[in-house]
Chain A
């Protein structure tokens, strides 16, 4: 187990390293990074200072070292627009993103799990087709389109829900549903396939052979096993949701990290963009690591095979 954890942590560190190298190289290779990282209209001395600070007069690996250490020490630079450290901005917005992601996750599970079970139990039937259509739409429809249609209907036409901004739970409903639909589709598909696999297992057969009522066979014996991968995916997706809400947050003007990223691009505030991207990638690598380790605790077979 220890060996597994050590190796898995090593893997994640490698991923983080490669990710940072990627980002570093993209910023350097595509031209002079000072143009991205120095405010528009800065004086020539400022630019010269900046070049020195980034070590642009030094070999590439020294530059990378400076870049990496600044990240590790939490120095992600200043926002041009807000004139505050970007990390501060990031943590100001993070709670909003968490809130949105949490509600979206609850919705996606409330929709995805029951419909996935129903589709598996009635495989090939009406509910299966209905579920397939629902998930196909969820995976195909662009989120800004869903969001705008919701606004058009619930805010413009019916006037029931606020079209943008933050505040009460009403503000959250539409963005959370828009974000959650895609994930509901993913959770439904996984629940369905995992349930189908479990329903085919010997222990479900034995449960039926024992004469258990079908509700107990499915609700007790099948469901608990089928939900393990779904909960795992949901754990990872919660973190993914925080980081992919840019379109939803833009449509609904929800002040989360995605909105911050959007502001970063519209105000040409590159340090902000870089911060959101780096932290997003790191967060996902870390949660993948945690989930793998947790899984290895639950299921000893994983440890052995890898």
Chain B
């Protein structure tokens, strides 16, 4: 009888090394992150990158196809639209619109939702009842329909869209954060803080908030994709970012008219941009969810 070590067991590294390995590369969505960084870069430096003014075109040069198609030229790499504006330049500035609207709307939604979720979960009682009943009622409305309704009331503008999206999406945040807070409340360190006589506000700020941030970040990343799709949909329907601003959704709505006569580049390119951005955000969000917050896995 001897003590043997199988090769499999020998392969087991120290726990610390394993954790490191997990963090480093396992499933890290490298390409999605690069895409998001690229879009962010383009958004920031749009003024330097875009070859033309995105809002001014010349009718003499309308419906130019992309450079590699017959009749296209290197002057307009991705062609021109129905009023002769350069598609590439509009895409570049459209990245700015998507990034600004997406990020700020997520921030607004996350801010409201986290705040109300913490209040609801920690204070309980009637505060909880009121917040949760409103949340339930609002969740009954499909997000897009709700957003359309609000946009129809306040009228379209970039700022309004941000406020509307924030107002529509905070409910999802509040739900998740509340659940998290309820379980945190049972944890030792929170109970100790209560026993030590810390005030409610202090506990919420110092003990609860930092601990729900993980979930909030994961949700924000997943929400980024959703918000961008909704913004694009609103713009597509004509109640989002008002023309002539170059929003990707708006470009697709404009381009739709040309689709049947073969002006495919007007819809396909903005479509690809939206698709890449949303997919990237979702892939990153999925990865973060598994890494940062195993409890959210089933979301």
A268 smallest CB distance to B (angstroms): 8
Known: A19-B137, A250-B237. A152 touches B148 (CB 8 A): no
- Flag if B141 contacts A284 (CB, 8 Å): yes
Is A123 engaged at the interface, CB distance under 8 Å to the other chain? no
- Flag if A156 contacts B278 (CB, 8 Å): no
- Flag if A277 contacts B141 (CB, 8 Å): yes
- Flag if B148 contacts A246 (CB, 8 Å): yes
- Flag if B146 contacts A277 (CB, 8 Å): yes
- Flag if B232 contacts A26 (CB, 8 Å): no
Known: A140-B225, A244-B144, A277-B145. A36 touches B264 (CB 8 A): no
- Flag if B268 contacts A152 (CB, 8 Å): yes
- Flag if B148 contacts A18 (CB, 8 Å): no
Selected interface stretch from B3-11, B99-107, B255-263 = B255-263
- Flag if A144 contacts B233 (CB, 8 Å): yes
Number of A residues contacting the other chain (C-beta, 8 Å)? 53
Taking CB as reference atom, which chain B residue is nearest A149?
B271
Which range contains the number of B residues in contact with the other chain? 35 or more
Map CB proximity to A onto B206-249 as digits: 1 under 8 Å, 0 otherwise.
00000000000000000001000100110011110000000001
- Flag if A136 contacts B282 (CB, 8 Å): yes
- Flag if A144 contacts B144 (CB, 8 Å): no
Is A14 engaged at the interface, CB distance under 8 Å to the other chain? yes
- Flag if A148 contacts B256 (CB, 8 Å): yes
Is B45 engaged at the interface, CB distance under 8 Å to the other chain? no
Give which listed residue, A11, A163, A273, contacts B152 with CB less than 8 A: A273
Map CB proximity to B onto A239-263 as digits: 1 under 8 Å, 0 otherwise.
0100110110011000000000110
Complex Cα–Cα for A276 and B256 (A): 25
Chain A residue contacts of B282, Cβ below 8 A: 136, 139-140
Give which listed residue, B133, B239, B264, B279, contacts A18 with CB less than 8 A: B133
User: Which residues of A in the span 1-38 have a Cβ within 8 Å of any Cβ on B?
Assistant: 11, 14-19, 22-23, 26-27, 30, 36
Chain B residue contacts of A280, Cβ below 8 A: 141-142, 145
Chain B residue contacts of A284, Cβ below 8 A: 140-142
Chain A residue contacts of B148, Cβ below 8 A: 246, 261, 265, 273, 277
- Flag if A244 contacts B142 (CB, 8 Å): yes
Known: A15-B136, A15-B137, A251-B256. A261 touches B236 (CB 8 A): no
- Flag if A140 contacts B275 (CB, 8 Å): yes
- Flag if A18 contacts B137 (CB, 8 Å): yes
Taking CB as reference atom, which chain A residue is nearest B136?
A15
- Flag if A30 contacts B145 (CB, 8 Å): no
Is A193 engaged at the interface, CB distance under 8 Å to the other chain? yes
Is A160 engaged at the interface, CB distance under 8 Å to the other chain? no
- Flag if A19 contacts B141 (CB, 8 Å): yes
Give which listed residue, A14, A27, A148, contacts B271 with CB less than 8 A: A148
Taking CB as reference atom, which chain A residue is nearest B271?
A145
- Flag if A266 contacts B238 (CB, 8 Å): yes
- Flag if A142 contacts B229 (CB, 8 Å): yes
- Flag if B133 contacts A145 (CB, 8 Å): no
- Flag if A193 contacts B152 (CB, 8 Å): no
- Flag if B237 contacts A262 (CB, 8 Å): yes
B159 smallest CB distance to A (angstroms): 14
- Flag if B133 contacts A14 (CB, 8 Å): yes
Give which listed residue, B149, B151, B259, contacts A151 with CB less than 8 A: B259
- Flag if A22 contacts B137 (CB, 8 Å): yes
Complex Cα–Cα for A30 and B152 (A): 11
Give which listed residue, B136, B232, B238, B252, contacts A265 with CB less than 8 A: B238
Taking CB as reference atom, which chain B residue is nearest A143?
B233
Is A264 engaged at the interface, CB distance under 8 Å to the other chain? yes
Q: Which A residues lie at the B interface, using CB under 8 A?
A: 11, 14-19, 22-23, 26-27, 30, 36, 136-137, 139-145, 148-149, 151-152, 155-156, 163, 193, 240, 243-244, 246-247, 250-251, 261-262, 264-266, 268, 270, 273-274, 276-277, 280-281, 284-285, 288
Q: Which B residues lie at the A interface, using CB under 8 A?
A: 133-134, 136-138, 140-142, 144-146, 148-154, 225, 229, 232-233, 236-239, 249, 252-253, 256, 259-260, 262, 264, 267-268, 271, 274-275, 278-279, 282-283, 286, 298
Task: Name 6 interchain pairs, CB-CB below 8 A, sorted by A.
Answer: A140-B275, A142-B229, A244-B142, A244-B145, A247-B144, A277-B145
